[in-house]
Amino acid sequence: MTGLVTIVGLGPGDPRLLTPAASEALASATDLVGYGPYVDRAPEWPGQRRHSSDNRVELDRARFALDLATKGAHVAVISGGDPGVFAMAAAVFEAVENGDPSWRSLDIRVEPGITAMLAAAARVGAPLGGDFCAMSLSDNLKPWETIEARLRAALTADFVVALYNPISSARPWQLGAAFKIVAETREPDTPIILARAVMRPDERIRILPLSEVEASMADMSTIVMIGASTTRLIERPEGQAPYVYTPRYYGVRP
pLDDT score at 253: 58
pLDDT score at 30: 96
Kindly list the domain boundaries of the chain, sorted by start residue: 4-114, 117-245
pLDDT score at 252: 62
Of 120, 71, 85, 73, nearest to 9 by C-alpha is 85
Residue positions counted in the chain: 254
CATH number for the domain whose boundaries are 4-114: 3.40.1010.10
pLDDT score at 56: 76
Q: Could you give the CA distance from residue 86 to residue 105 in angstroms, rounded to a whole number?
A: 25
Domain 117-245 of CATH type 3.40.50.720 = no
pLDDT score at 33: 96
Task: Give per-residue pLDDT as tens, 5-27.
Answer: 999 999 998 889 999 999 999 99
Kindly report the CA angle at 11 between 2 and 29, in degrees rounded to 5? Answer: 20
Q: Could you give the CA distance from residue 9 to residue 86 in angstroms, rounded to a whole number?
A: 12
Which string of b and e fits 80-115 if b means at least 16 CB within 10 Å?
A: bbbbbbbbbbbbbbebbeeeeeebeebebebbbbbb
Please give the biggest Cα pair distance in the chain: 62
Q: Which residues of the chain have pLDDT under 50?
A: none
pLDDT score at 1: 56
